[in-house]
Amino acid sequence: MSAFRRSLIAAATGALLALPAAAALDSAALRWTQTHAGAGSTPFLSEIVSFEAASRTLWVSGPSGVDVLDALSGSRLGFIDTSTYGGLNSIAIHGTTAALAFDNTTDRRLPGLVVLYDTTTRAPLAGTSPITVGSLPDMLTFTPDGRKLLVANEGTPNAVADTAYGVLDPVGSVSIIDVASRKVVAMPVFGGITPTASNMGLNVRQPGMDWEPEYIAVSPDGSRAFVTLQENNALGIIDLATNSTVAVVGLGSKDFNLPGNQIDPRDSASVAFVNVPVRGLYMPDAIATYTVAGRTYTVMANEGDFREDNADRTTVGGSGIESRLRVTTDGRFATGARSFSIRNEAGDLVYDSGAILDQAAAAAGLYDDARSRDKGVEPEGVALLAIDGRTYAFIGLERTLSGSVAVFDITDPASASFVRLLATDGSGGFARLLRPEGLTAFSVDGVAYLAVANEGADGLNAGTAVWQLTPVPEPGTWAMLAAGLAVLAGVARRR
């Protein structure tokens, strides 16, 4: 290559680098919200949302089916009724294949189903039969290459509020499906592995109860799967070369008596964040992975979770400010850390957001004081997206006065920083939504977006919202760049 050609390329590259970077996320704006009625007059309960790039659509799952929405306008393009398969729990999309997970509506302890759909026809893939998986498949995800589909089978016993769990406790597992053959090729479990670290959280469970996989994230290189075992306060690690469990890591506990870890322990008329002599089990729900300098990190929303039969909870008691705080029956731990955490691939804590999530919601006037004695803002969902060379984490806060998502810059895992709070609070003519459940971040034509599925409360304020995170490039900017490159090209021809 001649020196002149190299200088020409350098000039063109310089012109590209000189373009203004996308504005910081403080310019993010709500683009649209969408709600509609489901069966009868009951609103559609938006739970999990997945982006389909080819058609630029969002597939939003609710208990009875999938809403297909235009990702940029919010227009409803169709509804897929899936009620014949059971209760729809989750959806994941890779390419033009959508995977849907269903529990058994007769008895959720029985095996569930996964059905593969063609996103083009919005019908089950030709020749596809429902794939039988473990008990209560509650989340699923593809490996980055799309060759495997992993299903978290939570295996929770049957119960209704204040009615004790039955005798049968299904085994928690992960079904690994070979997408090409559409068959389950392995079903690793977590028993028989000697856990590392301490404070597993087994104290919040009845003796003999099994592990309960909640959420799965695959490492960017596709070599490992990280599984949150929420009720066990643990992380399971699966080697995807052998499709076997290789480790179970206890996540420890968080000291709410340390500086930076203050909580509001009282559901009273005022909000006051103070240190209290209580520890909380992390008990994460959603998890995501990313890579920095060749190392994999996990990002976890530390929601916490008491049992459905309420047999594992009590209050601290006594006369202290923390007396009404809900803790495990042995009085030792609160559930949930009211934060999100970043951990390395061994499960070691690298960063925790401390009291930031609760305090950010309070500063915005969105903190729900009625949740103070339980789990605060209850972080649940996680999505990651790289924008202009920075990596951002979006943390869904399930229990705020309006559906809220906290944004953090996690480019440096050990020094993550709070950016802002996004809230669908009913302003700007948009619907007020509640309880973010599923989040997905995506880009279209160089513009970044965040989609949030909100399950609502008591059948109200449910729906999907899309935030535009970066501005559309100004036409003048691209015109100037094109003109500059044209001049450079003309000089090259004359040369």
**Segment 254-306, tens digit of pLDDT:** 999 999 999 999 998 789 999 999 999 999 999 999 999 999 999 999 999 98
- What residue has token string 């060759």? 147
Helical ranges in 34-126 per DSSP H: none
Report yes or no: 100 and 88 within 8 Å, Cβ to Cβ: yes
How high does pLDDT run on average in the chain?
89
Q: Specify the residue for token string 């390395």.
A: 344
Distance of CA 161 to the CA centre of its chain: 26
- In contact, 252 and 235? CB cutoff 8 Å: no
pLDDT at 168: 80
Its pTM stands at 0.91
In 3-state terms, what secondary structure has residue 223? Answer: coil
Q: Quick one: pLDDT at residue 205?
A: 58
- Reported as half-sphere exposure (CB side, CA atoms, 13 A), residue 469 has a value of 32
Amino acid at 257: N
What is the token pair recorded at 470? 């970066």
Q: In the numeric block, which tokens belong to residue 219?
A: 């490492």
| Nearest-angstrom CA–CA distance, 63 and 474 | 41
pLDDT digits over 25-73, tens only?
Answer: 888 999 999 987 655 455 678 999 999 999 999 999 988 899 999 999 9
Cα–Cα dist 464/61, whole Å: 10
CATH number of 23-470: 2.130.10.10
Task: Please report the pLDDT score of residue 303 as a whole number.
Answer: 98
Euclidean distance between CA atoms 399 and 370, whole angstroms? 9
- Both tokens assigned to 211: 């592990």
- Whether 317 has a pLDDT exceeding 50, the answer reads yes
Specify the 3-state DSSP secondary structure of 476: helix
